């Protein structure tokens, strides 16, 4: 690149010198005429300059554009790869979002069914405990009722025994009195019969 710049400066310098030399040698004569000679020299100088520039800069310009093409191609490939990766990441993110939404709905349904199952289980356990408590209460009430009946029976029996004892004593006393009276009356009858 430095070589091309040096050649360009040299050629521009030569052209300036040629143009300056022409005006110093009477370029101002015939000012109404078209300066064909000057235009021809300038065209020749420009042609030489372009030819020299073409041969001098051709390889570096070609190499520069090839390097730019390769750089652009590699950048385009990197951009395409990055674009593909971004598309894949986007697709992956969309899939994850769909999975999360699906799993969220599934989790909600599972939680609802688990809650319903737990509710039913708790109801069944409560009912079975209530039934057991009822049965236990019935057994306790029946046992207490039997105990109360037994106590009442004992009281009745004890009272009956006491009453029977009292009646037996009274009956025994009455029987003894009657027996005595009957004995005495029998004895009085026997005495009367004997006498």
pLDDT > 90 fraction of the chain, expressed in percent and rounded: 12
The reported pTM is 0.34
Domain residue ranges in the chain: 2-119
3-state secondary structure the chain: CHHHHHHHHHHHHHHHHHHHHHHHCCCCCCCCCCCHHHHHHHHHHHHHHHHHHHHHHHHHHHHHHHHHHHHHHHHHHHHHHHHHHHHHHHHHHHHHHHHHHHHHHHHHHHHHHHHHHHHHHHHHHHHHHHHHHHHHHHHHHHHHHHHHHHHHHHHHHHHHHHHHHHHHHHHHHHHHHHHHHHHHHHHHHHHHHHC
Amino acid 105: pLDDT: 80
- Calculate the CA 37 to chain-centre distance: 90
What pLDDT, in 10s, does the model give residues 62-118?
888 888 899 889 998 999 999 999 899 999 988 888 888 887 788 888 888 888 998
* Token reading at 103: 């799993």
What pLDDT, in 10s, does the model give residues 44-56?
988 888 888 888 8
């Amino acid at each position: 690149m430095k070589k091309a710049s040096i050649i360009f400066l040299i050629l521009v310098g030569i052209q300036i010198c040629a143009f300056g030399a022409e005006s110093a040698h009477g370029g101002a004569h015939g000012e109404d005429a078209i300066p064909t000679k000057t235009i021809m020299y300038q065209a020749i100088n420009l042609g030489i300059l372009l030819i020299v520039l073409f041969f001098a800069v051709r390889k570096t310009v070609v190499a520069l554009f090839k390097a730019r093409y390769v750089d652009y191609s590699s950048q385009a490939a990197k951009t395409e790869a990055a674009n593909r990766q971004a598309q894949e990441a986007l697709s992956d993110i969309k899939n994850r979002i769909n999975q999360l939404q699906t799993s969220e709905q599934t989790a909600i349904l599972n939680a609802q069914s688990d809650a319903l199952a737990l509710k039913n289980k708790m109801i069944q356990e409560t009912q079975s405990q209530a039934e057991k408590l009822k049965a236990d209460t019935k057994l306790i009430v029946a046992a207490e009722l039997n105990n109360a009946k037994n106590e009442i029976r004992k009281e009745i029996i004890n009272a009956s025994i006491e009453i029977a004892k009292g009646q037996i004593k009274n009956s025994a006393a009455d029987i003894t009195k009657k027996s005595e009276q009957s004995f005495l009356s029998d004895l009085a009858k026997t005495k009367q019969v004997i006498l």
